[in-house]
Amino acid sequence: MSVQKLSLATVLGLFTNDGAYLVAYGWLFGMSLWISFFGGVIAYKTLPRPQFGALQHKTFPVYFLLSIGLGSTLLGLWTVNHPSVRSHYASPLVEDVAQAYALAFVILAQGSNYFVVGPLTSKTMFQRMRLEKEEGKSYNDSGVSDDIKALNRRFGMLHGVSSLANLGAVVALAFHGLWLGKSGVKP
């Protein structure tokens, strides 16, 4: 067995569509895991609530937008490299089509978070913070106004919907990653 040495040509040969696909997937999945299970938890435990809310308000739109962009890139590359997706797009049990559906779900889930649920959640959070300041009470104090109670319910519902959509995207990405590990990028 001969030992091969790296050269500029072999390093440049790494820049392929398959390599780009795996880097984009790794970026998206890693970012999704970090934001969902680590970064947010650390920030929640570390920062005062108003600063935590402000951080999430700035972080999540970037995360959702990157998820949409990377997910769209992956779906486009997957569709181009797997012709059965185009010919069987209405058959989600076709293996390559199932992968395209998983990627499309990521785009739709994070798109709904970016365009609809996220802005509504932030708006509700800031309305609640404003009322807390006016009333001199925290949202979880006893005796808060009915307006704060209504905002609490609305925020909880919106946050739950956003979290479920995000968790669904993470699960879809895990499914896709397991598929890549089994079958690779190529058809």
**Cα distances (Å, whole numbers) of residue 134 to 57, 129, 137, 148, 157:** 21, 9, 8, 11, 23
Averaged pLDDT for residues 118-131: 96
Residue 99 has a pLDDT of 98
Is a pLDDT exceeding 90 seen at residue 1? no
Is a pLDDT exceeding 90 seen at residue 157? yes
Tell me the residue length of the chain.
Answer: 187
Domain around 127? 17-183
Q: Kindly state whether residue 10 falls inside one of the protein's structural domains.
A: no
pLDDT tens digit sequence for 40-88? 999 999 999 999 999 999 999 999 999 999 999 999 999 999 999 999 9
Q: What percent of the chain has pLDDT over 70?
A: 100
CA distance 79 to 100: 7
Q: Kindly state whether residue 76 falls inside one of the protein's structural domains.
A: yes
Q: Kindly state whether residue 11 falls inside one of the protein's structural domains.
A: no
Q: Kindly state whether residue 3 falls inside one of the protein's structural domains.
A: no
**Cα distances (Å, whole numbers) of residue 36 to 45, 67, 135:** 14, 12, 32
Which residues, 6+ apart, have CB-to-CB distance to 108 below 8 Å? none
Residue 186 has a pLDDT of 87
As for how many domains the chain has, the answer is: 1
Q: Kindly state whether residue 2 falls inside one of the protein's structural domains.
A: no
pLDDT tens digit sequence for 127-156? 999 999 999 999 989 999 999 999 999 999
Q: Kindly state whether residue 4 falls inside one of the protein's structural domains.
A: no
Ramachandran quadrant class, 2 (left: phi over 0; alpha: psi -120 to 50; beta: rest) = beta
Averaged pLDDT for residues 173-177: 98
Residue 156 has a pLDDT of 97
Q: Alpha carbon 41 to chain centroid distance?
A: 16
pLDDT tens digit sequence for 79-114? 999 999 999 999 999 999 999 999 999 999 999 999
Averaged pLDDT for residues 22-29: 98
Mean pLDDT over all residues of the chain? Answer: 96
Q: Kindly state whether residue 117 falls inside one of the protein's structural domains.
A: yes
Residue 8 has a pLDDT of 93
Q: Kindly state whether residue 6 falls inside one of the protein's structural domains.
A: no
